[in-house]
């Protein structure tokens, strides 16, 4: 069954129906969200990126904030792993592949302890993308470690505040050419925990819905 924009919007409306209205997006936040959905791998609207970089700088963004937006949305490629790794793991399990059956070796156990451990933060990831982290680690310790290191970059550089990073991620996951509901729910929950109100959430959805189709890059 296809996941439409209308169905995404109904899911979000239901989640935020009792959330306080809150403040609208600032001009800068709205422009950064607009930049993000145009720069994402599922759009790559290079003309729009040029326009929105200029708009962001004119609205007061620093060069670090603009570039961190690009780094953040470039991580969209990990959704290939989120969707694909559990499927590969399921097929391998059907075939009794030892990779899926045996306990973690010492390398994998060390990586799991280092990056997951007992941190309850990762429970939300497991709820939205069941089995992803374990299946990724079983199939490729290198990819598992790279996933954490690359996705952590925008949080280490911290040019953007956490709430706008969550709204940017939400917007990209709600854009017409992506529509990745597990990530959208995850980032929406994070944004609400950070105090973002209903008005800003719905504005973000509207900006995402207006993102252009992917026309190719010359």
pLDDT at 1: 74
The whole-angstrom separation of Cα 189 and Cα 173 is: 13
Question: Cα separation of 208 and 184, whole Å?
Answer: 12
Average pLDDT over residues 116-137: 94
Once rounded to an integer, what is the mean pLDDT over residues 187-197?
Answer: 97
Q: What is the mean pLDDT of residues 59-87?
A: 97
List pLDDT tens digits, range 194-214.
999 999 999 999 999 999 999
- Report which of 120, 88, 141 is spatially closest to residue 193, judged by C-alpha positions: 120
What pTM value is reported for the model? Answer: 0.95
Closest CA to 172 of 50, 37, 31, 46: 37
Averaged pLDDT, 183-195? 97
Determine the straight-line distance between the first and last CA of the chain, rounded to whole angstroms.
33
Residue 119: half-sphere exposure toward Cβ, Cα within 13 Å: 10
Structure confidence by residue, pLDDT tens digits, 138-164: 999 999 999 999 999 999 999 999 999
Residue 84's φ and ψ, nearest 5 degrees, are: -90, -40
Dihedral angle at the C-alpha atoms of 143, 182, 40, 195, nearest 10 degrees? -110
Half-sphere exposure in the Cβ direction for 218 (13 Å, CA)? 1
Distances, alpha carbon 67 to alpha carbons 55, 61, 73, 74, 214, in Å: 14, 10, 10, 11, 21
CB atoms within 10 A of CB 85: 25
């Amino acid at each position: 069954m296809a996941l439409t924009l209308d169905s995404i919007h109904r899911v979000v409306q239901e989640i935020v129906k009792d959330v306080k209205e809150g403040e609208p997006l600032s001009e800068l936040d709205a422009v950064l969200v607009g930049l993000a959905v145009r720069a994402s791998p599922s759009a790559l609207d290079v003309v729009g990126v040029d326009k929105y970089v200029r708009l962001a700088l004119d609205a007061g963004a620093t060069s670090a904030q603009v570039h961190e937006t690009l780094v953040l949305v470039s991580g969209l490629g990990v959704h290939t792993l989120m969707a694909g790794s559990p499927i590969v793991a399921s097929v391998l399990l059907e075939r009794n592949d030892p990779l899926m059956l045996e306990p973690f070796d010492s390398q994998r156990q060390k990586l799991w302890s280092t990056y997951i451990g007992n941190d309850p933060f990762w429970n939300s990831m497991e709820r939205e993308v069941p089995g992803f982290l374990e299946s990724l680690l079983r199939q490729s310790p290198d990819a598992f470690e790279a996933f954490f290191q690359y996705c952590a970059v925008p949080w280490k550089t911290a040019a953007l505040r956490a709430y706008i990073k969550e709204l940017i991620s939400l917007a990209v996951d709600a854009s017409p050419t992506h529509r990745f509901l597990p990530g959208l729910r995850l980032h929406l929950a994070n944004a609400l925990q950070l105090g973002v109100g209903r008005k800003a959430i719905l504005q973000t959805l509207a900006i995402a819905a207006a993102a252009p189709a992917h026309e190719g890059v010359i």
